[in-house]
Structure 1
Amino acid sequence: MFFSIIIPLYNRPQEIKELLESLTKQTYLQFEVLVIEDGSKNDAKDIVAAFANRLDLHYFYKPNEGQGFSRNFGFERAKGSYFIIFDSDCLIPPDYLEVVYHRLSNDYLDAYGGPDDAHSSFTAMQKAISYSMTSPFTTGGIRGNKKGIGQFHPRSFNMGVSREVWETVGGFIITRLGEDIEYSIRIHSSGFKIGLIPEAKVYHKRRTSYLQFYKQLHFFGRARINISKFFPQELKLVHFFPAVFTLGLIFTLIFNVLGWRIAWLANSVLIIFILLIFFHSLIKNKSLKVAFLSIGAAFIQLIAYGLGFMQDFWKRIILKQP
């Protein structure tokens, strides 16, 4: 089995250097790498060229269209029987391709997704954000989980599709705002088999500050509404949780300001939530600093997603604006 690894890139030369370095250590060697520079002003051409003698590597520069259409650009030029998509801010464990090869050889999947985790080299902030994005106490609990709610939808930071899927279903039809979930739903609808490969994890660096994380999750909240415009049935009650949490937080503040008796109940629920995040993160990361930062990351994740969700729910579903 020959894999084509497709990596869209936009103004992140240092990230692609670390990602390519991790790919040079793969134990399974039947693969090529396609780096699609999506109209970057700060391009990585020279950095990629430095790996030319260490990887079967192909570099392309194209006008900016967004990550979805950049992946399509890679699909069209890939030689492999199976395409694997990574985000540029990922590090890939040495046995990743070997794990995928053995799974597909023994129990074939037409498309798959894998989980993400924090690497030991990540900063405390990156580990806290990674925790929040994978925590059972936030929206992370319903992402990348074979025991999650509804169909499993691979996410494009760690996703594979067969050439047959590409030739039958096509590629991404939207380039941002939930393009990977929309693509997964179409793959499902075409009768292909999709599953999670739990051992095929990547180390996902994500964002390095609360502000960057807020902007990313606000975008994710808006993306969920965008997906519902294509597939209304995919907007489920669980997707309202961050919005409900955000509204609950606002009402808790109001109750405390007004001195209403119900404030003690709301405060108690909030304290329990904070303690759950803190101790769960402490057990997982074995770091007090990461545990404290995880509290902030969890609140930012839920509030940012909730506000983005409510913003576009009001605009696109209530007001029917495009």
Structure 2
Amino acid sequence: MELYFSIIIPVYNRPDEVDELLESITKQDYQDEFEVIIIEDGSDQSSVSIVEKYNAKLNIKYFYKENTGAGLSRNFGMKKASGNYFIILDSDVIVPQKYLSIVKNELTKNFTDAFGGPDAAHHSFTAIQKAINYSMTSTITTGGIRGKKKSVGKFQPRSFNFGLSKKAFEKTKGFSKLKAGEDIDLSFRLLESGFNTQLLEKAFVYHKRRTTIKQFFKQTFAFGTARPKLNRKYPETAKITYWFPSLFIIGIDITIILLLFGSWIPILFYAFYFVILFLNSLFENKSFKVAFLSIITTLTQFYGYGLGFLQSKFIEK
């Protein structure tokens, strides 16, 4: 099958990010034709003037619609697209120059109806953005890519860097109405429908994520609330590991109480963990500031996800 890519980008009040993303797309070394679909999801801060800057550089289409959330906006874009394979990107990413070429080469060698790619921190990112990226991708936190290179068929793509064939979209109807966890939900339905997925390790994007601790907490809290809902919808996918952030923060709270009563031993476990985390982040990022902030962002990640998980599990039904 000859691949014709449609890049689907939903955006909500982030015209500056769209500008940076589109600029990176113009620099692709990809030789084949492709199109870009921008879906303005009821924004107050319009991106239309940004999109107009790229009319002469890209085959680009712009649509404005009422606010429904990113998932349904992606579906809207895929329905408007002309391609037979959709590449879904968040508006807060930057794509490396060889991204599209890598995706095509990998799919040509081993075609699957869906794929996911990793993310990384760009050198221009702020220290807090690099620390958040570390917490969300490191194997010693709850981050990291779920799945291995050889485990083709079971990988769960994430929506910031997600590929989906037109055939798979038409069969699954795309993303659900969920505001968080909608990409995991789609991954489960893809597998139920008999489609294979894979991780394209080399097809990474630079992902800004959130720029403040408060925004990051809100984001991870939403992730945490989504997991029990997905477990109820797909009980066979529930794993004990989803409890780890909640158990981690409960353990910290108990440790603080024990410390007040003079028991120092439990705190040594957490101190050892955060020393290892600091050194690992320092090795990866080559920055003492980022390494220190990585401790704060990892605590934020655990508390955000853990509290969201507990609320959704025991309070919200």
Q: State the TM-score, normalizing by the size of structure 2.
A: 0.96
Residues 88 and 159, structure 2, Cα contact 8 Å, conserved in 1: yes
Offset, 1:147? 7.6
- Which consecutive residues of structure 1, in runs of 5 or more, have no partner in the other structure? none
Superimposed CA distance per residue, residues 265-320 of structure 1 (whole angstroms, 9 cap, x where no aligned partner)? x111101110111011111111111111111111110111000000110024xxxx
Distance 2:241 2:19 in 1: 38
Of 168, 174, 186, which residue of structure 1 is paired with 2:171?
168
Secondary structure in 2 matching 1:200? coil
Q: What letter is aligned with 1:199?
A: K
The percent identity for this pair of structures is 49
Residues 147 and 154, structure 2, Cα contact 8 Å, conserved in 1: no
Alignment match, 1:314: 314
Residues 114 and 144, structure 1, Cα contact 8 Å, conserved in 2: no
1:147 to 1:129, Cα distance in 2 relative to 1, 3 A: farther
**Residue-pair matches, total:** 313
Q: What letter is aligned with 2:137?
A: T
Distance 2:138 2:160 in 1: 17
Q: What letter is aligned with 1:305?
A: Y
Secondary structure in 2 matching 1:141? coil
Residue 198 of structure 1 pairs with residue 218 of structure 2: no
* Backbone CA RMSD of aligned residues: 1.5
Of 27, 30, 52, which residue of structure 1 is paired with 2:29?
27
The residue correspondences of 1:68-79 to structure 2 (distance < 5 A) are 68-79=71-82
Alignment match, 1:188: 191
Distance 2:229 2:42 in 1: 25
Residues 132 and 138, structure 1, Cα contact 8 Å, conserved in 2: yes
Of 9, 12, 21, which residue of structure 2 is paired with 1:10?
12
Superimposed CA distance per residue, residues 189-240 of structure 1 (whole angstroms, 9 cap, x where no aligned partner)? 1111100000000000011111111111111100112212321222210100
Alignment match, 1:135: 138
1:226 to 1:177, Cα distance in 2 relative to 1, 3 A: farther
Alignment match, 2:300: 300
Distance 2:93 2:214 in 1: 20
Offset, 1:138? 1.3
Distance 2:17 2:46 in 1: 11
Alignment match, 1:104: 107
Distance 1:92 1:279 in 2: 29
Alignment match, 1:244: 247
Distance 1:168 1:143 in 2: 24
Distance 2:157 2:188 in 1: 10
Distance 2:236 2:64 in 1: 38
Alignment match, 2:272: 272
Secondary structure in 2 matching 1:93? coil
Secondary structure in 1 matching 2:40? strand
Distance 2:261 2:168 in 1: 57
Superimposed CA distance per residue, residues 118-151 of structure 1 (whole angstroms, 9 cap, x where no aligned partner)? 0001011100000010011111035465489x94
Residues 113 and 165, structure 2, Cα contact 8 Å, conserved in 1: yes
Secondary structure in 2 matching 1:84? strand
Alignment match, 2:288: 288
Q: State the TM-score, normalizing by the size of structure 1.
A: 0.94
Task: Provide runs of 4+ in structure 1 moved above 6 Å.
Answer: none
Q: What letter is aligned with 1:255?
A: L
Distance 2:145 2:225 in 1: 17
Residues 220 and 301, structure 2, Cα contact 8 Å, conserved in 1: yes
Residues 36 and 61, structure 2, Cα contact 8 Å, conserved in 1: yes
Q: What letter is aligned with 1:137?
A: I
Distance 1:105 1:55 in 2: 24
Secondary structure in 2 matching 1:19? helix
Offset, 1:100? 0.4
